[in-house]
Amino acid sequence: MNCLRDKINIPEELFRLKIKELAEEVRVRFAKKGISDIFDILSEVAFLIRKPLDVKELSGFITYFDKRFIIYLNSNFTLGHERYTAAHELYHIMYNEDILKKEKVFLDKEKHKEEEVKADVFAAEFLMPEDYVKEVFYKIVNLDKSKVLPKHIIRMHNYFNVSYKAMLKRLIQLNLCSLDKYLELVDICSLENKDKLQSLTKQEGYTIDLIIPSKKFYIPKEYIIYVKSKL
């Protein structure tokens, strides 16, 4: 069981609670400005570029150039995955500023493994706040953790605008879904079963926007003006 917990990166509770505090601080900070969407938040702190990249291993990255942060998100991933990556990169912007400025191009993931782990935990805490997840779960699912089905994960992940897999992990983390059911429930979001997941999503009354790549191509006008000013 511990091996499975490690495999799906369920953090130790004390560690999680420390990162939860950071996520809440950042959420409140931007809420005071009237900003809540993760893409809008990133646009507030950096130049946000979303475009399809033909690099399957790269969800997103940050560069630091001429005293400005530039965040790239790969929209060849599903929209739910892209939003999670966005929250991951937000952690780096907020808490790894000095490291990013020093390394400039990419954060060395091997060198800064702990910060990568923190960024992943932060993304979950930021996009799926513990108290609100529990409130919504008891409102629209309200079942014993051993009776959760794929359709219940679909309802939850569409509510929080994250991927199916991220929502499943979060429910297990918060003890709302049994760890024993992970392998059974995660199977539907595999590449081989994408048609099945899309069909069940539509049956539940949702669009499939979160579980397909958005292929979004977005470059802010401010970035174009900025680049032109450097020519």
The answer on 12 and 80 residing in a single domain is yes
9 lies in which domain range? 2-127+213-230
* Model pLDDT for residues 126-154, shown as the tens digit of each residue: 999 999 999 999 999 999 999 999 999 99
159 and 117 within one domain: no
Q: Are residues 114 and 136 part of one domain?
A: no
d(CA 39, CA 177) in angstroms, rounded, equals: 29
Asked whether residue 87 falls in the same domain as residue 199, the answer is no
Q: Extract the residue ranges of the chain whose pLDDT is less than 50.
A: none
Q: Residue 108: what pLDDT?
A: 61
Query: Do 151 and 76 have their domain in common?
Result: no
- Say what the pLDDT of residue 110 is: 64
Q: What is the pLDDT of residues 83-113, one digit of tens each?
A: 999 999 999 999 998 888 887 666 666 677 8
Residue 141 sits in the same domain as residue 75: no
Residues 135 and 109 in one domain: no
- Is 205 found in the same domain as 117? no
Report the alpha-carbon angle 202-208-211, nearest 5. Answer: 130
The number of folded domains in the chain is 2
**Are 71 and 136 within one domain?**
no
pLDDT at position 68 is 87
Query: Do 179 and 196 fall into the same domain?
Result: yes
* 14 plus 77 within the same structural domain: yes
Output the CA–CA distances (angstroms, integers) from residue 212 to 155, 194, 231, in the order listed: 16, 9, 37
Supply the pLDDT for residue 90: 97
Whether residue 48 sits in one domain with residue 24: yes
Q: What is the CATH number of the domain that holds 123?
A: 1.10.10.2910
Q: Which residues contact 155 (CB under 8 A, 6 or more apart)?
A: 140, 141, 204
